[in-house]
Structure 1
Amino acid sequence: MVVVAAAAVLEAVALVALTGWGVVQLVTGRQNAVGVVLFLVVFGLAVAAVLVGSARALWEGRRTGRAPVATWQLLQGATALAVLQATGSPVAWAVLVLSAVVFVLLLTRPVVAHTVPR
């Protein structure tokens, strides 16, 4: 349970950092696609907020946090797999492994038991 919640928060922190990097790229003029960057910033911050809320729900034993975390792991894993096929990046490997581990842990008996109403 602790690993799943911590991973969700870690992913949220990474998303916030990446959105900050996107804003810096936009402000410094290194990126001209204003609409794309703004969409990615808003999307990244929204996903980060959902992940933090889901981690909190999981920590408190509510099952409502499982679906958003599982969905994000699947989307993140699919994206990492696509990046891995295109570039072979070690970062993509790390993200793919993290997604798989969190997804599997989310389905383990202790996590499910912790989030099932008593």
Structure 2
Amino acid sequence: MSRSPRKSPNRSGASPAPPPPSAPVPTSPSGPARPRPRVLAAVCLLVLVQAALLVGLGGAWIADLLRGASQLPGATVFLVLFALGIAAALIFAVRALWHGRRWGRAPVITWQLLLAVMAIGWLGAEVAFWAALVLASTVVVVVGLLLPAVLAATSARAHQPDGGASGTRVA
């Protein structure tokens, strides 16, 4: 039985020297920070614009309600709450995507699919520039979220506590 000698980090017992200044500094528990893809920034910006438009739409419905222009006040209140709820969900999803968490993709893509169906319906009723713009934005967001660089950037932190259930194991 031969034993290999144990190697100590250094003979004085002191802790190792800090890394040189040129070494990347970890900014998160998962390691060094990686730059985010520009496509992810564009997708997040488009989704935030959609959320802002939902907030504006909710504000317009509130104004109608306060002026008495709404014929169905109960339905208007529902629409306001729905628009604000979807806007809040989109904002939280964008924040998750920006921080590299994969769970943010599902609500964003679900909303894009619903929005695309509505835009196709609007285009079927009347061809309008704004409806085509809505449809184009949904295509850009979905395709952007499914590009390999964005998938890699939003899947790297799956082991984090709020990274989703797919990163956990069942024994």
Question: What is the TM-score of this pair, normalised by structure 1?
Answer: 0.96
Please report how far the alpha carbon of residue 117 of structure 1 lies from its aligned counterpart in structure 2 after TM superposition: 3.0
**Secondary structure of residue in 1 paired with 2:70:** coil
Equivalent position amino acid for 1:87 in 2: E
Partner of 1:5: 44
Q: Which has the higher contact order (CA 8 A, sep 6+)?
A: 1
Counterpart CA distance in 1 for 2:130 and 2:144 is: 21
Measured in 2, the distance between the counterparts of 1:88 and 1:29 equals 31
2:167 corresponds to: none
Runs of 4+ in 1 over 2 A off after TM superposition: none
The gaps in structure 2 that reach 5 residues or longer are: 1-39, 158-171
Point out the more displaced range, 11-20 or 82-91: 82-91
Q: Which residue of 1 is the match for residue 102 of structure 2?
A: 63
Q: May I ask how many residue pairs the two structures share in their alignment?
A: 118
Task: Give the equivalent residue in structure 2 for 1:82.
Answer: 121
Amino acid at match of 1:63: R
Partner residue, 1:112: 151
Structure 1: gaps (5+ residues): none
Compute the displacement of 1:60 (Å): 0.2
Task: Report the CA distance between 1:73 and its aligned residue.
Answer: 0.4
Q: Structure 2: how far apart are the matches of 1:94 and 1:82? A: 13
Aligned match of 1:38: 77
* 1:48 equivalenced with 2:81 (yes/no): no
Larger radius of gyration: 2
Q: By how many angstroms is 1:63 displaced?
A: 0.2
What is the distance in 2 between the residues matched to 1:117 and 1:26?
A: 45
Q: Deviations 1:50-74 (Å, cap 9, x if unpaired)?
A: 0000000000000010000000000
1:27 equivalent in structure 2: 66
